[in-house]
Amino acid sequence: MEFGSLLILFLATISGILAQYVQESELVINGTLPMSHTDANYICATIDWWPDDKCNYNHCPWGSASALNLDLSNPILTKAVQAFEHLRIRVGGSLQDQVVYNVGGFAGPCHPFLKMKGGLFGFTKGCLHSERWDELNHFFAKTGSLVTFGLNALYGRHHINKGVWGGKWNSSNARDFITYTVSKGYQIHSWEFGNELSGNGIGAMVHADQYGSDLIELRGIIDNLYREIRPKPLLVAPGGFFDKEWFAKLLKVSGSKIVDVMTLHLYNLGPGMDPNLVKKILDPHFLSRASITFGDLRQTIQTNGPWASSWVGESGGAYNSGGRHVSDTFVNSFWYLDQLAMAAKYHSEVYCRQSLIGGNYGLLNKTTFLPNPDYYSALLWHQLMGTGVLSVERKSCGPHLRTYAHCSKGKAGITLLLINLSNQTEFELKVHSILNMNLHPIKDKKLSFIHRMKSMFSWMGSKSTNKELAREEYHLTPQGGDLRSKTMLLNGVPLELTKTGDIPYLKPSIVDVNSPLTIAPLTIKFIQFPNFDASGCK
């Protein structure tokens, strides 16, 4: 390359650097009392029922990822689940209300789902063989999974009109299935009743008064079959989209302590084919709309069923199998981590990602089983974020910096999650305890060339000889700066399986606690402060 071209390139680089800003900001964290708590095993992922000929937008993204045909012997799958120690796995999805169980008195044919014009979601009923249920439970036991199983809530009902299903639930097949499960000693953490039958339903709906009555019957079945077993599985419902009136009526009809958990489904990014998916993910005002739903669910439970906790029972961001070349790339972690953190603030105790594998939104690639970027985001959350959710007061941050704090998991102090949605502003932060309110006025300033060049390599950190005077940083960036990269970098190092096929160790940078804390544009960072004054975390 000639000197003139090099000079032009250099000047263009300087121009791009100088066009960016540093925003000095401050965070005040209240570590004296958590504002809410999550379950210790907050991260959850779904194994769905969709067969390989489930297609959206002329693309069929599921492959062999169904509960009926997933290769449970794949070593990457096993290691990916085991990395969470006790990953919550929900077996469920749109087709669960068409699943019959080949156990007990079941006498019908036992076939997989087949495409059928006019069928619910375009498919026939599908059958779960007892042998396949045995295989699934062997996998769950081997990987230490905590299992939520979604039961068929349409069994025995009839279609009335316009998606409305009526009649009493026939509990016989589910009773036989739970009886078989108990007889084999399989550990089920919770039984969920139905999938997306609430409100107007998705494909089908059941009125709340009938649903509540059926839940009372299911509660009796569980209490009877587990009368000598502790702990007894939780009863989870309705596994659907939030409808305030419907949810409130369900709690009133079913009554005190019938339902243990109310589960919400949320796909706030819209359809997977939307060309504006990335724009939505990077829009802080759009992301914040989900807080209205979380808040309304919290209020509905407090008013009508305070004995119940709340879970996000299914959420994949974009519905209809997720966004192709979006949901399985780095940019999706801006949405995913923000959702995890926001839901936790509103007292959600568990968050189930659609899906563990399958669709465009799988945490694992459906063909290779290799982890997608969101898998590592989930694993970092699981390893770093404790159950105590802390309040964060922001000074001069602006909407594009998303800030969340939890008590640290398994160690003293707090862990901060920073998500920078801005494409041009770097934030330099001072972090204080609420006990130290001596905050200083802040002004925006243009980022100097030298400072910018230093900050480009800030992920490397400065090594501290005294770990008690250090913080741990986990800086997430996309490979090559491409937001749609399927490779995530942790502190500049690609996250890839080891040569032996193991999940890599997620190694932090050790940084002097007094060095500047920055978050570069369009990146994510977890920061663990071991000596932060947080009496509410002890």
In the numeric block, which tokens belong to residue 3? 């000197």
Same domain, 492 and 468: yes
* Domain around 254: 38-386
Beta carbons within 10 angstroms of residue 469's beta carbon = 12
Dihedral, CA of residue 89, residue 94, residue 95 and residue 100, to nearest 10: 60
Helices (H), 394-481: 449-455
pLDDT at residue 463, as a whole number: 36
**Angle between helices 172-183 and 208-225 in degrees, nearest 10:** 30
538 falls within a domain: no
SS3 label, residue 434: coil
249 burial (CB, 10 Å; 0-12 / 13-18 / 19+) is middle
Ranges of beta strands (E only) in 87-189 are 88-91, 99-102, 126-129, 146-151, 158-161, 164-166
Same domain, 358 and 423: no
How do residues 263-294 score in pLDDT, each as one tens digit? 999 999 999 999 999 999 999 999 999 999 99
Q: Confirm if 148 and 192 have CB atoms less than 8 A apart.
A: yes
Q: Confirm if 35 and 405 have CB atoms less than 8 A apart.
A: no
Q: Phi first, then psi: what are they for 510, rounded to 5°?
A: -95, 120
35 burial (CB, 10 Å; 0-12 / 13-18 / 19+) is middle
Same domain, 337 and 480: no
Same domain, 198 and 148: yes
Same domain, 92 and 115: yes
The total number of structural domains that make up the chain? 2
| Distance of alpha carbon 32 from alpha carbon 14, whole angstroms | 45
12 falls within a domain: no
Pairing between β-strand 509-512 and β-strand 470-478 as defined by DSSP bridges = antiparallel
Q: Which residues pair with 498 in a beta bridge?
A: none
CATH code, 257: 3.20.20.80
| Distance of alpha carbon 342 from alpha carbon 347, whole angstroms | 9
> Which amino acid makes up residue 301?
I
Q: Confirm if 241 and 198 have CB atoms less than 8 A apart.
A: yes
217 is catalytic: no
Q: Which residues pair with 235 in a beta bridge?
A: 191
Q: Confirm if 445 and 22 have CB atoms less than 8 A apart.
A: yes
User: Would residue 262 be called left, alpha or beta, if left means φ above 0 and alpha means ψ between -120 and 50 degrees?
Assistant: beta
Distant-in-sequence, close-in-space partners of 83: CB < 8 Å, separation ≥ 6? 379, 503
> Which amino acid makes up residue 319?
Y
Omega of the bond leading into 238 within 30 degrees of 0 (cis): yes
Pairing between β-strand 190-193 and β-strand 234-241 as defined by DSSP bridges = parallel
SS3 label, residue 412: coil
Q: Phi first, then psi: what are they for 490, rounded to 5°?
A: -110, 115
CATH code, 525: 2.60.40.1180
Helices (H), 267-419: 277-281, 284-288, 290-304, 332-345, 373-384
Same domain, 400 and 509: yes
Same domain, 363 and 411: no
516 falls within a domain: yes
pLDDT at residue 538, as a whole number: 85
Ranges of residues in the chain whose predicted pLDDT is under 70: 1-19, 436-468
pLDDT at residue 466, as a whole number: 52
Given 368, 386, 404, the domain boundary residue is 386
Same domain, 252 and 325: yes
How do residues 400-427 score in pLDDT, each as one tens digit? 999 999 999 999 999 999 999 999 999 9
Same domain, 42 and 30: no
468 is catalytic: no
Q: What is the pTM of this model?
A: 0.92
> Which amino acid makes up residue 343?
A
Distant-in-sequence, close-in-space partners of 10: CB < 8 Å, separation ≥ 6? none
Q: Which residue among 24, 26, 192, 314 is the active-site one?
A: 314
483 falls within a domain: yes
Same domain, 75 and 118: yes
Q: Which residue among 24, 192, 196, 426 is the active-site one?
A: 196
Same domain, 275 and 419: no
> Which amino acid makes up residue 215?
L
In the numeric block, which tokens belong to residue 101? 């169980």
501 falls within a domain: yes
Same domain, 64 and 25: no
How do residues 57-68 score in pLDDT, each as one tens digit? 999 999 999 999
> Which amino acid makes up residue 350?
V
Q: Residue length, the chain?
A: 538
Beta carbons within 10 angstroms of residue 399's beta carbon = 13
